[in-house]
C-alpha cells in the first residue's frame, strides 16, 4: 500500500473519531454505519478507496468497543433480560440495516 493511501486512512480515522464524539449515540452510529458499509460494499470502488472508507473511516466511526461498552454497562447491572434483548436487537438491526444499504446501492447502480 502506498504511503499516500496510509495518510488518507489516518485522516479518515481522525474525521470518523471526531464525528463519533459529536454524535455520542452508539445505537445511531451503529445503524448508520451498518447502512453505509452495506451501501459501500455493493459499489465498485478501487482497492484504496475501499480501504480508506472501510478500514479507516467506518472502523473508527462504528467502533466495536462502543457497542461492547454499552452492553457491558447493562451486564454489570445484572439486568439479563435487557442485556439479551439489546444484544439481539443491535446485531439483528445492524444486519438488516446493512442488507438494506446493500440492496439500495444495487438498485441505484
> pLDDT per residue over 43-74, tens digit each?
888 888 888 898 889 888 887 777 788 888 89
- Segments in 24-79 forming alpha helices (H): 26-41, 47-50, 59-61, 64-76
- The mean pLDDT of 26-50, rounded to a whole number, is 88
What is the value of pTM for the model shown? 0.81
Give me the domain span that covers residue 90: 3-108
Number of domains observed in the structure of the chain: 1
Mean pLDDT of the chain: 88
Amino acid at each position: 500500500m502506498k504511503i499516500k493511501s496510509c495518510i488518507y486512512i489516518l485522516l479518515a480515522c481522525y474525521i470518523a473519531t471526531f464525528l463519533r464524539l459529536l454524535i455520542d449515540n452508539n445505537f445511531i452510529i451503529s445503524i448508520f454505519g451498518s447502512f453505509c458499509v452495506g451501501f459501500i460494499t455493493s459499489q465498485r470502488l478501487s482497492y484504496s478507496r475501499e480501504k480508506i472508507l472501510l478500514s479507516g473511516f467506518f472502523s473508527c466511526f462504528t467502533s466495536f468497543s462502543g457497542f461492547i461498552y454499552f452492553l457491558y454497562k447493562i451486564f454489570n447491572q445484572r439486568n439479563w433480560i435487557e442485556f439479551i434483548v439489546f444484544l439481539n436487537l443491535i446485531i439483528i438491526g445492524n444486519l438488516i440495516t446493512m442488507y438494506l444499504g446493500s440492496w439500495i446501492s444495487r438498485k441505484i447502480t
